[in-house]
Structure 1
Amino acid sequence: MNAELLSPRATGPGKVLGILFVLFGVLLLAGGIKLAMLGGSLYYLIAGVALVLCGILLFLGHAAAIWLYALFLFGSTLWALYEVRLDWWQLVPRLALWFALGLLLLLPVFRGTSRFTGAGWGLASAVVIAGLVALASLFTHPGRIEGALEREVAAVESMAPPIEPGDWPSYGRSPFGDRYSPLDQITPENAGDLELAWSYRTGDVPGPGDPQETTAENTPLKANGMLYVCTPHSQVIALDPDTGKEIWRFDPKLSTQDADSFKGWAHMTCRGVAYHDEAAYVGQPAATPTQVPADETALAEGAPAAEPPTEAAPPVAEAPAPAPVENPCPRRLFLPTADTRLIAINADTGKTCPDFGDNGSVDLATGIGDFQPGGYYSTSPPAVTRDLVIIGGHVTDNVSIDEPSGVIRAYDVRSGRLVWNWDSGNPDVTTPLPEGQTYTRNSPNMWSIMSVDETLGMIYLPMGNQTPDQWGGNRTPASEKYSAGITALDIATGQVRWTRQFVHHDLWDMDVGGQPTLMDLQTDQGTRPALLASTKQGSIYVLDRSNGEPIVPIHERPVPQGAVEGDFTAPTQPFSELSFTPPELREADMWGGTPFDQMLCRIQFRSLRYEGIFTPPSLQGSLVYPGNFGVFDWGGISVDPVRQIAVLNPSYMAFTSQLVPSAQVEGGPERKSETEGVQPNKGAPYGVILQPLLSPLGLPCQAPAWGYVAAVDLTTNETLWMHKNGTVRDNAPIPMPLPMGVPSLGGMVTTAGGVAFLGGTLDQFLRAYDVRTGEQLWEGRLPAGGQATPMTYTGKNGRQYVLIVAGGHGSLGTRQGDYVMAYALPKK
């Protein structure tokens, strides 16, 4: 019988290891039973039984323990290959711990003998096989698309407004929002030489009373020989573009109820300011109202066509008066503040423009009605045209059913006079609201960045929806029509020219977050004026911006049904043929750092309602994938109109959404942000708990990669290349730069030099990529999170700089700061 023992008696280390095996087995057995009852994989139940038996045999010193563990490791390897093939990061939680324990069992101190018997050789074989599988997986790249752009240019003449090549005068560089620069000093051949040219600290750092989502999402402007930066607390700073030296600073002195505390606010954000130069419009005519026949008005399928204007229609607003002869601020910045003001600032001096509104500012709270401080203001820069500054507003999600209007207002750029207002709750009447009246409460808002085509006379609004997000039982027909899509307004009058919806009856917070990107697109039908709308659900809708008709086909497809009592779901949703929407999640896609938290993630997955994208919110809890941050959010996409490509950074993170009956809201976890605690939805029958799908260790339950960079050939709609992007260096317990591919918040820019830049990843880097192949060319370490879209410009010295604001993001947990960082090639 002694031949069946590891040694004449089990060793002390062997007994300890046996106890550990039993403990591991009991944990897997308990979770495995629960998972099996939910209809999930039987592996964890079987593994639990095997480890318990193995542990007992090991404690007793039987060689059968080695044989059994060899069989268990070999079976686990086969199971892992069946579920995830050769995917390294998916194999880690399935095999890494068992492989390590197998190595321990091969040591004489645990086996009690230095001799290799049949059991020892069997275990060694199982360990080697598992190791070879892991080694082979290191040479595979699931999700990666390899390719290259073969052409350099396409014969398309852009209709974008002319801009000085070295300037960046709008949030997306041009009113088209293309985030493309014609600069070409930095190329794939020399981008690796980029170095820090200068850095600057704004001094505006999050305070103890600030909301969690205090963010530096700002893309600075470069115009008038200066850089213009805005900070989370609505300060504007002018910097020398060559040195970063401060030229002037404007502090609006926020007038909140408690200036030292912004607790209860959802955000503290300034994405940017807008710039208007009177000289740029010399000799250009003012915009005039344009009427469009009803049959040219594009609407979501199934929505009624808009009636053409008739004699009985409400009067449209008059075009703004011509500019006065003398203008005290011929170059001005427009700053939206966190206390609901729109301030005009002299871009030369940093002083307010006294001719605008009331001594330089307009009160955006006028006509809005009651709201809590922070519950309404514009987090994004307004749009500017020849004669108008046009602005929307952020409305805090999921607080109540009686929130401020989502009205869009156009003011005269010189006087601050209200010229027109478009309220989606009362869309036909755009004449200025009479004094003392209130815009439609709770109408869908536009919190992101607009795009403008002054040649066509239209402004394009990326629309949100009527709050609350996850329950829509009381939404009005007007709010249903204009939410979660693009609406084009006539610049001169605010009248609707066309609208197209991307999510019907949105119950998932699928706002169109990104600025619509305008370009002139080469198609089989010739060059067409295009609009590209990137969305949270991953579709990129390509429309003719003159009428809203699809250039890339859109298909209505059936989606899951079964909303809670009092609500409903749309039977179909529109999907674009150009899409980065991910495939449906499976139980096998659940992940973790160990087999144990992976098992718990599987249990969580099986416990949630999930039938694919657009699974309705539920009382049991629903899985939302893509999640609330979306595949694409406010960073939008960048296009190269010369090469006719789009460069973009899709992200993939799952969330959960659980409805809570209103009577139970107060007893739930405290609301700390829009994705933490119970969102009250006061006045609705349900509150909601929103949160990312995480394991007990705080790791994503969904397997990596979570973030990519990619390029699309817009003449064919084919993905040219797609690579996972970013590391977990700044998010893991141990700061190891593992290249797992992490989410990014913020957009990309492209250049004529063939280099694209992105700084929005959860690790603290600004990176450069070859737009032709996607190869990473360079990375620069940032002192804080770079959750902002970078920009590029030339200084007075003719040197090309790449600039990013690195201030971090409270809700994402990246390091916060107050840095402005500029990089350039070494001086010659």
Structure 2
Amino acid sequence: MAAVLTGGILLLLGMGLAIGGVWLAALGGSWFYLLAALGFLVTAGLLIKRHGAALWVYAVVVIITLLWALWEVGLDWWALLPRCSLVVLIGLWLLTPWVTRSLGTPATSRAPASAATSRFWPGFDSRSMAPLAAVLVVSAVVALASLFTDPHAVQGQLPDAVARSAHEADAHGDEAQQVEGSADGEWHAYGRTGFGQRYSPLDEITPDNVGELEVLWTFNTGDMRGPGDPIETTYQVTPLKVDDTLYLCTPHSLVIALDADDGSERWRFDPQSPQDINRQHQTCRGVSYHPGSDESADADEMHCARRIFMPTADARLLALDAESGRACVGFGDDGAIDLSANMPNYRPGFYYSTSPPVVTQELVIIGGAINDNVTTDNTSGVIRAYDVQSGELVWNWDPRNPEATDPIADDEFYVANSPNMWSIASVDEDLGMVYLPMGNQPPDQWGVERDEFTGRFASSIVALNLADGRVEWVFQTVHHDLWDYDVSSQPSLIDLSMPEGDVPALVAPTKQGDLFVLNRETGEPILPVVEEEVSQATQLPDVAHPTQPASALSLEPAPLQEAAMWGLTLFDQLACRIAFRQLNYEGRYTPPSTNGTLVYPGNFGVFNWGGIAVDPERQVAFTTPGYLAFVSRLIPRDDDYSLHVSMDSPGPGINENFGAPYAVELMPFMSPIDLPCQQPPWGMVAGADLRTGEVVWQHRNGTVRDLAPLPLPFKLGVPDLGGPVMTAGGVAFMSGTLDYYVRAYDVTTGEQLWEDRLPAGGQATPMTYRNSQGKQVLVVVAGGHGSLGTKAGDAIIAYALPE
């Protein structure tokens, strides 16, 4: 009876594979599924007839499946598993006594069976089982070998500190002291300093002792995601540490000061920023600090000598006294600047700043975020510089009116719908330049109406003169961006020891996986950049740029092929293969289309706002590349007001593109059971030598514990959102993976050294400082990310080595 029931199940499975296999083959895809379906169906028929030849036929199915899987993916366990697991499990079931005892003729009428066979498989000749048993043993050996093989790993060791000449060492030391402007144990800016390196010279925590880290204190802000919040309500803050105080903000624009020793609250400021469902993002990545001067203290009667600057969700820039948290009344209008001033087409909730401003000795420089893909009738993406004491506008740089940098008149407006800078800028005060990571002009996927200035400045690194805001140089990372490939990461500034001597460099990570290493004085590449020909298959009348820049240092993933499609079983993998064949895809930079385009890397990015960490002594980068494919589909619009893609989503109408001929559907490329269609790894850690451009090591990072239906800690490698930090102790930390852990790594080899479970998603960049007892402290924020679906929270957690 078991054989007949099994045959019925195999008949249904075979029919399903046959339907999908014919479909895939008609699309030009693999014929394996059709052949496997034939094997299932023949086996099913023989089982229903209770014929022993079913095991022989199924043995052929198993060996063909194994050979096909090895040919496609080699010894890659997580790619082999979905191809072979169902087939092997069925084979094991076919060898059980419940099935075999009813197959064929009694053993007594045939050649004698062994005693073991007679005991465990009575009534069946073991010779009929031998081929299937043998191929299952071979499958087990292959599976065991693949468990100890990772074809995606790169093994190597990053170099130690770079040897410098005496002259270069002195020059480097002098410059480091001037630029960092803070003691070893401090963290005065988002990336620790205006250089955006996310590197600390503290070295108490080392690879030898990091495993001893324990929680020192925990603080809960009380600011939680709630009803009426946008979907993307997230906690992305990196706190600052100045003297004995930590400064941080929360998603709803609260500013909080904590005692750096015990995490107790010293003060908090609530700017009373109202809720607004029109905001695409409800977040705060950080505040900024100005140390003050004698002049500033005199000007404000000893109040606000040291200042904290905070951008709010309702488009204000606040200046607060670092000591008390009170508003600096001498700054702007009673301590605040209205960032909606002179902005065309301004609507509440459509423009605000999610990232901390750049603060120099004299200026506070800020950009803003514009809701993606809502309308062509946007406000301006202008970048503005204000006097750090008075709040008076010093200069403004509008990407669509780049020459007019003098402060705008009160009755004038900036140019509408210009590219914006929503991420974090870097600054070199000695060179007198601020470096802007520029976004695209909305709508991202339609560029017919872009002008020459948008064509020059969108998706670029732009260096502006600090004194007057004029353009010093521009390096464009994507020409005519149709993929939402904003420069989302803060550029990291570092002096590289090259054969010609020390070179002032800028390292710009991008969503597409390139790390452009440029001379920050001139914008010229230090590591080679070439223009590669790309797909031209655009939706007319739009025209794609014929070439795109590619850096010699890149963590770009290999182009997708049908063999890279993935699933837990043959069936969801087959569905992903069919979807892959139906989409437009000609590699990176395949233009969007009404048919649907596979975008890989997706607009989530290989690197996003978390960026990378660079070590100025070793001259290496610690990176956390992520790999998720997205699907982009243009939807013809009937008019400028109907909802086409956001009917079920509260808010302003993200991706509707009012005013353009197309709305756009954007979604991750997922299987019918809501898993990525591309095979893992989806997230890695990687170490790169910035002088040579070599990726020296690379490893999977993170588990599916908090992504899968069951909390299984399988290390497939998952994406992260939130950057890493490196230390002089040779340890790097990150917490942004989509499982809820903070982890430590050996910078030299990339080996994971330690991890600790977080109470919520850790989608923020950690930081580290020295407290008053001289201990090095690691701080991690666990607050979750709304659009990623990670658990929400409000925890600030400090770790330190035990006494």
| TM value normalised by structure 2 | 0.94
Change over 3 Å in CA distance of 1:678–1:235 after alignment to 2: closer
The structure-2 alpha-carbon separation of the partners of 1:524 and 1:731, relative to structure 1 and needing over 3 Å to count, comes to same
Pair 1:757–1:674, CA change in 2 (3 A): farther
Of residues 745, 748, 753 in structure 1, which corresponds to 2:729?
753
Identity %: 54
Alignment partner, residue 441 of structure 1: 416
Partners of 1:535 and 1:458 lie apart in 2 by 21
Query: C-alpha separation between the residues in 2 aligned to 1:722 and 1:673?
Result: 39
* 1:690 corresponds to 2:709: no
Counterpart pick for 1:229 among 243, 248, 251? 248
- State the SS of the aligned residue for 1:518: strand
Identify which of 371, 390, 393 aligns with 1:415: 390
Q: Alignment partner of 1:15: what SS?
A: helix
Match of residue 138 from structure 1:
147
- Determine whether 1:277 maps to 2:266: no
1:213-238 Cα shifts (integer Å, max 9, x gaps): 10101001001420011100000110
Unpaired runs of 5+ residues, structure 1, are 1-11, 284-320
Deviation track 1:185-223 (CA, whole Å, cap 9, x = no partner) reads 100110010111111111110011111110101001001
Letter of the 2:685 counterpart = V
Q: Does 1:390 align with 2:365?
A: yes
Counterparts of residues 523-562 of structure 1 (less than 5 Å) = 523-562=498-537
Q: CA deviation at 1:265?
A: 2.4
Equivalent pairs, count: 772
Q: Cα distance 1:448–1:678, how it changes in 2: closer, same or farther (>3 A)? A: closer
Equivalent residue, structure 2, for 1:93: 82
Q: List aligned pairs for 1:127-206, cutoff 5 A.
A: 127-155=136-164, 156=169, 157=172, 159=175, 160-206=179-225
> Aligned letter for 2:757?
R
Distance 2:327 2:568 in 1: 55
Shift in Å, 1:690: 0.3
Q: CA deviation at 1:243?
A: 1.0
Structure 1 residues 233 and 116, CA gap change in structure 2 (3 angstroms) = farther
2: distance between equivalents of 1:18 and 1:675?
52
> Offset at 1:370?
2.8
Kindly provide the amino acid, as one letter, of the partner of residue 700 in structure 1: P
How far apart, in 2, do the equivalents of 1:673 and 1:188 lie?
Answer: 47
Q: Are residues 1:456 and 2:401 paired? A: no
Contact 1:170 1:275 (C-alpha < 8 Å) held by counterparts: yes
In structure 2, the partner of 1:43 is 32
Q: How does 1:418-817 map to 2 (within 5 A)?
A: 418-663=393-638, 666=642, 668-670=644-646, 679-817=655-793
Q: 1:421 is aligned with what amino acid? A: N
The answer to whether the 8 A contact 2:244-2:261 is kept is no
Aligned partners of 1:584 and 1:553: how far apart in 2?
21
Matched residues in 2 for 1:154 and 1:274: separation?
34
Distance of aligned partners of 1:213 and 1:689 in 2 relative to their CA distance in 1, 3 Å threshold:
same
Per-residue CA shift, 1:241-269, capped at 9, x if unaligned?
Answer: 111111111110014xxx4xx33421101
Cα gap change, 1:186/1:672 in structure 2, threshold over 3 Å: closer, same or farther?
farther
- Residue identity matched to 1:691: M
Name 1:310's counterpart in structure 2.
none
Cα deviation, residue 119, structure 1: 2.4
CA contact (8 A) 1:154 1:643 kept: no
Q: Is the 8 A contact 1:273 1:382 kept in 2?
A: yes
Distance 1:759 1:689 in 2: 30
Give the partner amino acid of 1:263.
I
Q: How many angstroms does 1:153 deviate by?
A: 4.3
CA distance change for structure 1 residues 245 and 678 in 2, over 3 Å: closer, same or farther?
closer
- 2:131 partner letter: G
Equivalent residues of 1:676, 1:691 under 8 A apart: no
Q: CA deviation at 1:49?
A: 1.8
Cα distance, 1:669 vs structure 2: 4.2
Cα deviation 1:269-296 (Å, max 9, x = unaligned)? 10000000114xx79xxxxxxxxxxxxx
Cα shift at 1:677: 9.0
Q: What are the residue-to-residue correspondences of 1:299-310 with 2, within 5 Å? A: none
Pair 1:74–1:43, CA change in 2 (3 A)? same
Letter in 2 for 1:179: R
CA contact (8 A) 1:99 1:131 kept: no
Contact between 2:340 and 2:346, CA under 8 Å: does it hold in 1?
no
For the residue of structure 2 that corresponds to 1:531, the secondary structure is strand
- Residue 278 of structure 1 aligns to a residue whose secondary structure is coil
Give the aligned partner of residue 94 of structure 2.
105
For residues 373-421 of structure 1, the C-alpha deviation after alignment (integer angstroms, 9 at most, x for no partner) is: 3210000000001111000000011001111110000111111111110
Q: Shift in Å at residue 629 of structure 1?
A: 1.1
Backbone CA RMSD of aligned residues? 1.8
Instruction: Name the SS for the 2:6 alignment partner.
Output: helix
Equivalent residue number for residue 14 of structure 2: 25
Residue identity in the other structure for 1:120: M
Counterpart secondary structure, 2:308: strand
Residue 116 of structure 1: CA displacement?
4.0
Distance 1:676 1:436, change over 3 A: closer
Partner residue in 2 for 1:63: 52
More displaced 10-residue stretch of structure 1: 639-648 or 369-378: 369-378
Deviations 1:83-123, CA, capped at 9 Å, x for gaps: 11110000011001111111111001012251343321111
Could you list the per-position Cα deviations for residues 294-334 of structure 1 after superposition, in whole angstroms to 9, with x for gaps in the alignment?
xxxxxxxxxxxxxxxxxxxxxxxxxxx99848552111100
Does the alignment pair 1:215 with 2:234? yes
Q: CA contact under 8 A between 2:279 and 2:651: conserved in structure 1?
A: no
Q: Which amino acid aligns with 1:539?
A: D
Distance in 1 between residues matched to 2:312 and 2:332, nearest whole Å: 15
Measure how far apart 1:641 and its partner are. 0.3
User: In the alignment, what sits opposite 1:305?
Assistant: none
1:256-275 matches, cutoff 5 A = 259=275, 262-275=276-289
Q: Specify every segment of 5 or more residues in structure 2 that has no aligned partner in the other structure, as ranges.
A: 103-120
Q: Deviations over 1:664-703 (max 9, x none)?
A: 8946442667999971101101110000000011000000
**Structure 1 residue identity aligned to 2:581:** R
Change (3 A) 1:29 1:264: farther
